[in-house]
Chain A
Amino acid sequence: MVLVLALGDLHIPHRAPDLPAKFKSMLVPGKIQHILCTGNLCIKEVHDYLKTICPDLHITRGEYDEETRYPETKIITIGQFKLGVCHGHQVIPWGDLDSLAMLQRQLGVDILVTGHTHQFTAYKHEGGVVINPGSATGAYSSITYDVNPSFVLMDIDGLRIVVYVYELIDGEVKVDKIDFKKTATTTQASH
């Protein structure tokens, strides 16, 4: 039962002052085992804050990050799953699911976590699943102003993942979940 937090695109302080209070009250230390951050934090203080929630923090570089040494992509193995993280501004067209699927195949991961579009999506294709946790602060994106703050919490339990989607809609936190299982044969190279 491993809890993995996926979030990103906070754009603090440029586009948003802080995480929404309701999100902050839920993110207490001690519950989460890993954090995957897609990037665009943008400053070190946010990095430190995330470190207090969970010491195992993985960040990839977004185009506005002030820390230049985050990697472009990262691959982590948690339990039976391989997860990949990438900010997504490198993949053109931005947010195009087929192109992201190509990136996923390149990285060879079961789940790809990307951001940049500031919209939550969870998309499944033959090679795996692409999850976009959206923007945790609701900062405006390069494409749109209409952004709801959202992040994703994954509960990895053996071969099964439950993805809890937290969104702040009209000041209330709404939680949905998505369930899926990995079949044992997924990594067979089907080409």
Chain B
Amino acid sequence: MVKKQVPEWLNSSLWSSSTSSSSPLLPPPPSDTDDHGGDDDRLPPLSSKPAPSMHSYATSPSYGSSTVVSDSRTKPPIPVSPPAIVREEPPKREVKDVRRDDDNGTSPNLSSGPSPEEISRQAQLLAELSRKVINIGELRKLAAQGIPDGAGIRSTVWKLLLGYLPSDRSLWASEMAKKRSQYRHFKEDLLMNPSEITRRLDKSSGLENDEAKGEGKGLLSRSEISDGEHPLSLRKASIWNQFFQDTEIMEQIDRDVKRTHPDMNFFSGDSPFAKSNQDALRNILIVFAKLNPGIRYVQGMNEILAPLYFMFRNDPDEDNASSAEADTFFCFVEVLSGFRDHFCQQLDNSVVGIRSTITRLSQLLKEHDEELWRHLEITTKVNPQFYAFRWITLLLTQEFNFADSLHIWDALLSDPEGPLETLLRVCCAMLILIRRRLLAGDFTANLKLLQNYPPTNISHLLYVANKLHVHPSGQSL
């Protein structure tokens, strides 16, 4: 089965709201093993070492929602017909890779464990996905509750939610092929350096001069240059000039790509795998910057790109994983289309810009929790721009650890009205959840707290956010 991902360190859950934050990698007391309601059922007992866990992946019959590391003590597996995807290879790679990551216990809330609702949700999702024509509305509803990590469902669901894949299954292959070749053309056109361009132009105009160097003597013939295309050209339209002007952006993209998620082996480090991932990220961002001269590249886009690429690259389907770059490009464009205006500096003060979105968040907080709003903005004068800017522009990727942010993105992407609405609600919920600490704090303490949001139970957060939707004037919890 696809027992991929989620190595046992990810299970260590700090975020269990009931128990106190015990040391991350210790197995929770055996009493947590059984089916409790609420949060505890997400903590399957941890086995001690990674090696047995891989082994147990292979042997344990539990279903894809794989973070079940241990073996016999888990709940009996619910017999659900497994999907046809059985991969040992990529899961191993991902497991090894993710395991080496930050394991100081910032707990990811990966919905794990074979809790009955997880299993059933997974089954529902799979059922929905295997239909011939997928009902996107239904999918959105299911996804909003969280997509389980197993069986590579998330990457397919995200592709559907972002409109990359059409809802009719039979069109998938042709659509993907079309888009992938389109991306290939973009790359060819935009990523060539001027030397190659001139070489191709020369070849096509038949000026190739093939004299082998060793033969013949004589003065070399000079040829005319067409329309002043030379490397030192200062003409605006010269490919060389444009190339040199682009180098600044390329350098910035390069710097940001190297800094993306330095704690994850997937993205950083010296392995060829990490380098190829960095190259893919770089190419996507460069193609995007060149195709969108209006916003080019802005710092932070790499953070939005990272989860998408991670998911698609780790797709259990080999074919999809190898074309992850192309798929990610289009999905990235789609995600960003809702938020483009946040990245455009000139629009900062306009109705669609980031300031007005932050104001909306502020209004939302006022509606739902006036006391907290008053305390934050008026009493302690914590201007929402100080914390919400990063929350909103980076879609909360920097506030939680990687696995949690994937979970949040499930909710964001499944919103039929677009991710912005849900994003604002989640931000509001984030504030409400720590209201006690905020109300007790002054400017410095609050700012510190908000800029380093404490680890929290993501499902709970999303639940609160959802409630805000339903009860517009609900009181805080």
List A residues at the B interface (Cβ < 8 Å). 1, 3, 25-28, 30-31, 110, 121-126, 128-129, 153, 155, 157, 160, 162, 164-166, 175-183, 185-186, 190
Contacts and interface: CB of A to CB of B under 8 A. Distances in A.
**Chain A contact residues, majority secondary structure:** strand
Contacts of A165: 222
A27 B234 CA distance: 10
B38 interface: no
Contact of A179 (B196, B202, B244): B202
Contacts of B223: 176-179
B220 A164 contact: no
A134 to B, nearest CB: 13
Contacts of B188: none
Contacts of B216: 124
A148 to B, nearest CB: 14
**Chain B contact residues, majority secondary structure:** loop
Nearest to A3: B231
A23 B209 CA distance: 29
Given A1-B194, A125-B217, A157-B196, 9 more contacts: A26-B232, A122-B220, A123-B217, A123-B219, A166-B230, A177-B230, A178-B220, A178-B222, A186-B214
B224 A157 contact: no
Nearest to A186: B213
Most interface-central of A25, A31, A129 (chain B CB within 10 A): A31
Contacts of A162: 195, 198
B228 interface: yes
A31 B209 contact: no
B218 A124 contact: yes
Contact of B217 (A26, A126, A181): A126
B213 A124 contact: yes
B193 A1 contact: yes
6 contacts: A25-B234, A30-B244, A175-B228, A175-B230, A178-B222, A179-B209
Nearest to B232: A26
Interface of B: 193-196, 198-199, 202, 207, 209-225, 228, 230-234, 244, 247
Contacts of A181: 210, 213
Nearest to B244: A31
Contacts of A125: 217
Nearest to A153: B231
B232 A153 contact: yes
A45 B193 CA distance: 34
Contacts of A129: 213, 220
Q: Which 7 A-B pairs have the closest CB atoms?
A: A26-B232, A1-B195, A157-B195, A176-B222, A122-B220, A125-B217, A175-B230
Contacts of B244: 30-31
Contacts of B219: 121-124
Contacts of B193: 1
A123 B219 CA distance: 4
B210 A123 contact: no
A175 B225 CA distance: 7
B33 to A, nearest CB: 61
Contacts of A164: 225, 230-232
Contacts of B247: 30
Contacts of B231: 3, 31, 153, 155, 164
Contact of A126 (B199, B202, B214, B228): B214
B234 A176 contact: no
B107 to A, nearest CB: 47
B232 A177 contact: no
B213 A183 contact: yes
Contacts of B199: 157, 160
A1 B247 CA distance: 13
A178 B193 CA distance: 19
B232 A182 contact: no
Contacts of B218: 123-124
Nearest to B229: A175
A28 B234 CA distance: 10
Most interface-central of B210, B222, B223 (chain A CB within 10 A): B222
A72 B210 CA distance: 34
Contacts of B215: 126
A155 B223 CA distance: 15
B232 A166 contact: yes
A3 to B, nearest CB: 6
B15 to A, nearest CB: 49
Most interface-central of B198, B207, B215, B230 (chain A CB within 10 A): B230
A152 to B, nearest CB: 11
A95 B267 CA distance: 56
A185 B232 contact: no
A123 B217 CA distance: 7
Given A153-B232, A155-B195, A155-B231, A183 B214 contact: yes
